[in-house]
Amino acid sequence: MRYTFRPQFLLLILLSWPALGLAQGGPQVDISSLVNSDLTTYTNGSDYPPNGGPLTINGVPFNLATIGSNSDTAVIQTTGQQSYSIPVNLAGITTVYTLINSADGACGTSVGEVDFVGATSGTYVYTLVEGTNVRDHNNSSFCNTATGIAGSAGFGGGQVRLDMQQINLPASFISDTLVSVTFTSYGAGGGGQPFLAAMSGFTLDQEVSLPVPLQFIPVTPCRVVDTRGPAGPFGGPELGAGTAVEFDLPQGVCNIPANAMAYSLNATVVPNGSLNYLTLWPSGTAQPNASTLNSLDGRVKANAAFTQAGINGGVDVFVSDASQVILDIDGYFMPAGTPSALSFYPVTPCRAVDTRGAADPLGGPFISGGSSRDFPILSSDCSLPANAQAYSFNVTAIPHNTLNYLTAWPSDQTQPVVSTLNAPTGAITANAAVVPAASDGDISVYVSDDADVVLDVNGYFAAPDTNGLSLYTGPPCRILDTRTNGGPIDGAVAITGIEDTGCAPPSTPQAFVMNATVVPVGTLGYLTLWPDGEDQPFVSTLNAYDGSITSNLAIVPTTNGVIDAFATDPTQLILDLSGYFAP
């Protein structure tokens, strides 16, 4: 990671950390004794893969030419009905990628199946049907119209089709052990060509070793965890110092499905005293070297987080010091293509609302304590479309004294029992929020005490189209920490070399999802993050006028893998990457 001061162009080298991409040393299955070694009977006598090398489809590697004890690939090749069963014995498997090359057959013909056996879940059968999730062996005739595939490639002079499936196992397998996987060919082909099946790229314990594109489903903001309440799996007691607790969110009261892959959360702490830090991460994975928020002075504080779902759909919460913890949810992410799921569309950060300005539907006056205002977001100058179903905001409160809490929600719904941010000391406070839009595009904001409110928008969620982006997420990963290299930033800097860090995404992102933390040297008016190559926008990412360590979730668009940062005053800057948006 490098960042360059503007205009001094001082270059500094920073740390790299463990990757979010393809897992190293992921689940391995020794199936060498089960593999049919004859792989040379394809069209035109071509071997699979071409030239004996590996084949990669949509980032998923399949290598059938080097079957061995460290392979996680299985193969059948047959002209009649035949099955191969591969013992697996791995817990928490949620997704399996398969590669199928069927024989010639008519559309609608069932040519085989893949059986997944769980220790307690029984058998899940994935049927392979020509014209649905596999295409014909030979692309010159028969059935080549399948659309339910995750990727495809050709070999043998381009005459043979290889189709990849992404098979999402039932939710019961998340907390189960996958015992075996069996490939079966029905021998249904008309031309006698072989049937090939390959398996690769387990998603284990929800730790995405191969990136899965996710789309968003908004929900009315809902409180799923509050340890201040009675004892229970989503209530008390408070978290003790140095402890981590798992919360299986699909089992809570907010009707989140068990197969949700990630969550849009707002985490609030109510510490007993000083709280060094809190960290959120997917259950069943190692605690990352990252923090979600800090409250060294013990104030009530909130921060948004996109958090990957773990075992049982759970998220783990660690607190360095005793604290009550509240988790509110405003949506969840499902695999791309899920009905009603939304794509993300980034925009250059833009100020949509500022009540400090002249009287206007998107301006003054301030909001009086104990009351709310509706804001017609689509009327702003931010060029947001009428089909936007949720907004990605940075919400800033400027309290007139103290502010117990602020809540944002869609204006055609009842105010929910959640909070977006808290400013009990009266400090200017910012927090990211994904806010579903009302049917007319409006949102409402309530403040418990007199306050001005600023809403900056960095994107929106809407129905998928060719320009829509999906979320690729993983455990938090630290990409920048100026405390260990380079020292504080002051003024404008360009943060480059993100692709060179251990956290580098495997494809070109169009927006980064990161937790930005400042450790000011003194007072800090504000920090702004924005896409490199564009003029600095009139927005802020966070504020720390009182000099406190402050964090905020930031979705930062990018066109070249570089982002810019501006600090009004000297501050250390820490960036933890939790995902990115890409096609």
Q: Which domains are assigned to the chain?
A: 1-21+465-583 (2.60.120), 32-204 (2.60.120), 214-335 (2.60.120), 343-462 (2.60.120)
Query: Going along 169-213, which residue ranges are E strands?
Result: 177-185, 195-204
Q: Which of 19, 479, 23 is nearest to 208 (CA)?
A: 23
The Cα 207–Cα 204 span in angstroms is 6
Query: How would you list the strands of the sheet with 293-295, edge to edge?
Result: 243-248, 314-319, 275-282, 293-295
**Which regions of the chain are under pLDDT 50?**
5-54, 63-81, 139-140, 156-159, 188-195, 200-210
| Alpha-carbon separation of residue 234 from 293, 310, 333 (angstroms) | 20, 16, 21
Quick one: tokens of 164?
């990849």
Identity of residue 495: I
Half-sphere exposure of 415 (CA within 13 A, CB side): 15
Those residues whose C-beta lies under 8 Å from the C-beta of residue 293, and which sit 6 or more positions away, are 267, 269, 277, 278, 301, 302, 303, 551
pLDDT at 164: 73
Rg (the chain; Cα; Å): 26
Which residues have a Cβ under 8 Å from the Cβ of 307 and sit 6 or more positions away?
A: 262, 263, 265, 280, 281, 282, 315, 578
Position 358 scores a pLDDT of: 96
In the prediction, which pLDDT does 162 show? 64
Is there a contact between 18 and 503 (Cβ–Cβ < 8 Å)?
yes
- In this structure, the dihedral spanned by the alpha carbons of residues 254, 257, 261 and 264, taken in order and rounded to 10 degrees, is -20
Per-residue model confidence (pLDDT) at position 110: 79
**β-bridge mates for residue 556, sequence order:** 512
User: Per the confidence metrics, is the pTM higher than 0.95?
Assistant: no
CB atoms within 10 A of CB 499: 14
- For the beta sheet containing 76-78, the strands, ordered from the edge strand earlier in sequence to the opposite edge, are 76-78, 195-204, 93-101, 160-168, 151-155
* Angstrom distance (rounded) from CA 517 to CA 478: 11
CB count within 10 Å of CB 154 equals: 12
Under 8 Å between Cβ of 274 and 296: yes
Contact 227, 326 (CB under 8 A): yes
What values do phi and psi take at 533, rounded to 5?
A: 90, -5
- Cα 48 versus chain centre, distance: 34
What is the length of the chain? 583
Q: What is the per-residue pLDDT for 500?
A: 66
